[in-house]
Amino acid sequence: MVSNPLISLFLIWASSLALHFVYYVIATGIVLITLRLFWHRGLNRRKIQHKAWSRADALREIAASLRTVVIFALITTAVRLGAASGLFSIRKHFDGSEIAYLLCTLVAMILAQDTYFYWTHRLMHHRLLFRTFHRTHHKSVTSTVFAAYAFDAPEAFVHGLFVPLWLLIIPMHQLGILIFLAFMVGRNATGHCGVELCSIQLAASGWFGWFSPTAHHDLHHTTVKYNYGLYFTWWDRLMGTEHPKYCEQLRLLSGEACIPMTTPSPAGISNDQNIKHVCHSSVLLQDQFPDRYHRVPMAAAWSKLWSNPILLSPKGDHSLILAVGKIPRKRDVVNLLAVAVGAQAGVITAMLWHFVL
């Protein structure tokens, strides 16, 4: 034990700083590695925006995120001191008989943060608060994984304040808090990577459509005034703030092709020849040419070829079908899911290692 209270306080803050820094590095690093490994195995076709981010964007996001890490460390220090004084009830020891309480409080904490985030986020978009609280985060129109914590200092404080407010009401296991932090930083990293990592079919389904995929928050960055939710879509749907083109964007990302209905086939190109024109997943195409474009399932756009866009002439009307390259194999999808699960497990393991050792 350290007898000097100032040194003891500094050590608590330094360990909290290391904790949040390691979480940020692991979460962003695993997402980047995932994108690197699977980019040419299907993820390149899941890129949401056409625009590419710049090195300046990434450096700005990293700098802002490191500032947030410092602020989160200060709040974590206050929580640890509050727990030591009895202000917060944090159970350090866990046995199998308490697993039901652990799971219930963890789920409740995630649901509560989603509600807290929606309303504080929407409040920060007020014209009197936006410049002070939220402007830095929206400098990232085409966000990267590094934007996970790219907040202004006041916004970082508002987000970090949720944990002590929750602990004032609900006693938590330390393990539950660790899992919650892993979920939070991992979800923030994937939500800003600019590539849809979630199952689009599940995100567009009636049963699981209330989960918020990457495309949901990406539309918030490009449009600013829609999609304020964090983990789930229900508050946006209930309050009428979900982007009207969100479901359409999901359908396009799932691999639907666009057909120019009136454009004739280029001279000298037969139905069996390849063309070098690709229809990217974007709702802007139909917005700009609503009378010329409609969508068909990707399966209807493909012949026996797998790798290149091809020219077809359905029903003899010389329509040009623009399809997107090779369809990802099931093995690649399984590998991607395995990496995603491993990413969450890695973050949780790192947190447990920090607290236990």
Give me the mean pLDDT over the 249-263 stretch: 52
* pLDDT greater than 80 at residue 213: yes
**pLDDT at 171 exceeding the cut of 80:** yes
Question: Which range has the worst mean pLDDT, 228-232, 252-256, 313-317?
Answer: 313-317
Average pLDDT over residues 63-77: 96
Distance, in Å, from the CA atom of 323 to the CA atom of 333, rounded to the nearest integer, reads: 20
**Domain-by-domain residue ranges, the chain?**
5-209+335-356, 256-316
Of 153, 11, 16, which is closest to residue 73 (Cα–Cα)? Answer: 16
Q: Can you tell me the mean pLDDT for 253-269? A: 42
Higher pLDDT, 241 or 288: 241
pLDDT in the model for residue 187: 93
d(Cα 33, Cα 334) in Å, to the nearest integer? Answer: 16
Query: Residue 192: its pLDDT value, please?
Result: 93
Q: Which residue has the higher pLDDT, 202 or 18?
A: 18
pLDDT at 183 > cutoff 90: yes
% of the chain exceeding 70 in pLDDT: 68
Q: Which of 79-83, 290-294, 325-329 has the largest mean confidence? A: 79-83
Mind giving me the DSSP string for 102-155?
Answer: HHHHHHHHHHHHHHHHHHHHHHHTSTTTHHHHTTTGGG-SS--GGGGG---HHH
- pLDDT, residue 54, reads 87
Minimum mean pLDDT range among 8-12, 85-89, 117-121, 247-251: 247-251
Q: How far apart are CA 48 and CA 43, in angstroms?
A: 10
Looking at every residue in the chain, the average pLDDT score rounds to: 76
- Is pLDDT above 50 for 312? no
Residue 15 has pLDDT above 90, yes or no: yes
pLDDT of residue 260: 36
* Higher local confidence (pLDDT), 329 or 257: 329
